[in-house]
Amino acid sequence: MNYIPHTPQETKEMLNSIGLNSIDQLFKDIPAGYRPKSFNLPEGRSEFEVYDYLKRMANKNAIGLVNFLGCGFYDHNIPAVVSHLVGRAEFYTSYTPYQPECSQGTLQAIYEYQSGISLLTGMDVANASLYDGGTALYEAAMMALRITNRNKILISGGVNPIYRKIMYTYTSNLAIDFVEIPLEHGQSTREEIFRHLDDKTAAIILQNPNFFGAIDDHSDIIEAVHRLGALAIESVYPISLGILKTPGEMGADIVTGEGQSLGLPLSFGGSYLGFLATRQEYVRKMPGRIVGQTVDRQGRKAFVLTLQAREQHIRREKATSNICSNESLCALRAIIYLSILGKQGLKDLARLNFDKAEFAKSRIDQIKGVEVKRSSPTFNEFTVCLPKDAREIIAPMIERGFSPGLSLGKYYKDMENYLLVCVTEKRTKEEIVRYAENLEVVLWS
């Protein structure tokens, strides 16, 4: 039982038992600004009271909004069978499958996930999953440094700024020369990329569709990168691959992405799923772990963990990453989702996203003073230029029942008037029309 002392004497006795004379001594290693303001805690509550309190707190959130926000995390429909199957006890309670003889189901599920990601991206091999899209991109960058023994990385300005922040945080103590290449009209600037590309470059990091929703064929960039012995890393939106050229077809060496759109709910930010795929020649430089297929003593098909290249399994200096696990349950959701859709279903879903976004563009373009940026083709996300600061319309639109998109001024200088809007298959024609009507009222009322 946890015991909180209520009297000065009790407090003194507890401190004395650990060799201290005061509360200040106990917290001396914590900077003053981070120390507890008070220990005057309220009395405990019953389970019912705590549940009721938390429910009232949760109801303060703006729930039930019609969602036009994307930025790497998307409001897609999730078939009921996904949660039904994942909720089965043999999956929901399973642990890391170190003992293959009693983990065949979990191992096969991961193997099927790896196969699905490889097919989706057009690559040879995928690992058993990573934490999220941002950490997967960081792992890909480190992988490129190991393969090339170089320390310069070019990054397109269209790469998700959240991912870039994660990568810079993880590598803050490493001697890596990052060079960000600005976009021009929403696309990767070839002239600037080729100007910075040299024999010290380990890799270039690209994204398709990029953060602004723009679609690009990076084949020419990747070809130039390969001529100098560098690698091409491509971050992708998996649903878009139903209709877009795959990274494998473009010649990419390492592919990463956020798997949330493959059957995972938004859930206030996680847990999510990072995927990473690469070419066969780089398989031993991959982070995390891979499940492989083999046979047992009786010649029956079996699955085992293989190429576990982290410090727990091999000499520390030989480890490719310190990632401690994978997102197996999230990966299971992803492969169930992909299996339900099938190849044609994924194509149909991607086309539906594209068509609905095009309809939204045409309707929003009719609003006085509003311009939909059309310098590049887009998938289901696009940029809108407003006649005022985009931040000013967020709260009024929320009050009207809409999550209107992202104010790009949050991440990009001189883009305060730009709004990033996303339309998935869940948005109906009626919702899109009402969104445009309400946006017009908010802008001009």
Closest to 329 measured CA to CA, from 101, 109, 72: 109
> Tens of pLDDT along 295-349?
999 999 999 988 876 555 556 667 777 676 678 899 999 999 999 999 999 999 9
- Where do the domains of the chain lie, and which CATH numbers do they carry? 66-75+343-444 (3.90.1150.10), 80-338 (3.40.640.10)
* Residue tagged 């908010």 (tokens): 442
Which two structure tokens, joined as six digits, stand for 363?
């309707």
- Give the span between the Cα atoms of 136 and 127, in whole angstroms: 11
pLDDT at 38: 80
> Tens of pLDDT along 414-435?
999 999 999 999 999 999 999 9
CB burial class (10 A; 0-12, 13-18, 19+) of residue 43?
Answer: exposed
pTM of the model: 0.87
- Judge whether residue 1 has pLDDT over 80: no
- Judge whether residue 161 has pLDDT over 80: yes
Between 137 and 37, residue with greater pLDDT:
137
Between 439 and 270, residue with greater pLDDT:
439
Report the percentage of the chain scoring pLDDT > 90.
75
Continuous H helices in 87-128 = 89-92, 104-121
Q: Tell me the CA distances in angstroms from 138 to 67, 107, 374, one per residue in order.
A: 29, 26, 31
- Give the span between the Cα atoms of 404 and 167, in whole angstroms: 28
Torsion of CA 399, 402, 405, 406, to 10 degrees: 30
Kindly list the strands in the beta sheet with 177-181, ordered across the sheet, starting from the edge strand earlier in the chain: 125-126, 274-278, 254-258, 231-236, 201-208, 152-156, 177-181
pLDDT at 313: 59
pLDDT band of 36, cuts 50, 70, 90: confident
pLDDT at 317: 67
Contacts of 114 (CB under 8 A, 6+ apart): 125, 126, 127, 128, 290, 291
- Judge whether residue 269 has pLDDT over 80: yes
- Judge whether residue 195 has pLDDT over 90: yes
